Amino acid sequence: MRWIKGVLKIKEWQKKEKARELEQLRARAQALREEIASLEERMVELEKIIKQAFSFEKLIEYKSLLSKKNELERTLKELEKEAEKKKDELKLIYKDMKAVEVVKGKLEMEMRRKEFSLEMQRSNFLQLIKKLLVFLLVFPLISFDQSALQKKVKAKNEAKVESELKAISKDLEEKLKRLEEERKKLEELKKVESKKEEVSPDFQKLIAIFNKADPDEAGAIMNNMDPDLAAEILLNLKATQSAAILSAMDSQKAAQVSQIMARKKAQFKKAP
């Protein structure tokens, strides 16, 4: 779950940056619109003056204002186009954040389901233990001073109890085995196995995010990440980006992750 929080942190930073850039572009565009409006007002005044009393000086001023207006309008169009581009980028970031939130929700739900299953099995196991304890407490109290008929009944009951004990013991063994298997599965789920993430679309999207992320920001996140997961991500990044992130990480953590990366590369070369 830690890597998901890291991705969300990166996306939140990207969202703020894009929103700030978009706001700056909008402010510049508004300033240009106001300047163009001011030029148009002056041009209208000059047209009236020229119609009333023609003047080369006013005509030159009018043409100069017209040229400046056209230039400002071209700049305004470029700013508006850039603002639309930033707006689309911001939408993509929101979309990515939503996708990561969905993955996070699914993982949390799966972990809760596994934990609930384990709790139910523990509850059943405790019930069996209670029954066994009750039997062990009651059995020694049975009197051995009985008649032949009572002894016969006792032998029959003992055989029945022995059979029940065997059944209980077998049931306990099976439940303990299943409990151990579920425990191992839960441990694997909590570790977020790197092998599974290698082929999943979410892991591929994570790789794409780290490839585009600022190395210092990514390095700070990986300082708090599981070393095996950090190594797996770095092995899938571009060589230049991977090196930049390692350089930005804490030296001790970077050395640990580098060792894991080297071991994984060696294992990959040995594989048939």
Task: Give the phi and the psi of residue 238 in degrees, each rounded to 5.
Answer: -65, 150
Confidence at residue 253, expressed as pLDDT on a 0 to 100 scale: 93
pLDDT in tens, 143-181: 444 456 566 767 777 788 678 767 876 776 787 677 677
Confidence at residue 108, expressed as pLDDT on a 0 to 100 scale: 82
pLDDT in tens, 40-69: 999 999 989 888 888 889 889 999 999 999
Confidence at residue 35, expressed as pLDDT on a 0 to 100 scale: 94
pLDDT in tens, 89-144: 889 888 888 887 887 788 788 888 888 878 777 777 667 677 766 666 655 554 44
Rounded distance, CA 139 to CA 137, Å?
6
| Closest-CA residue to 73 (of 40, 108, 109) | 40
| Closest-CA residue to 96 (of 154, 155, 164, 14) | 14
Confidence at residue 59, expressed as pLDDT on a 0 to 100 scale: 87
pLDDT in tens, 181-229: 776 766 665 554 444 444 467 788 889 889 999 999 999 999 998 999 8
Q: Taking the model in full, what pTM does it have?
A: 0.41
Rounded distance, CA 262 to CA 133, Å?
54
Whether 29 shows a pLDDT value over 90: the answer reads yes
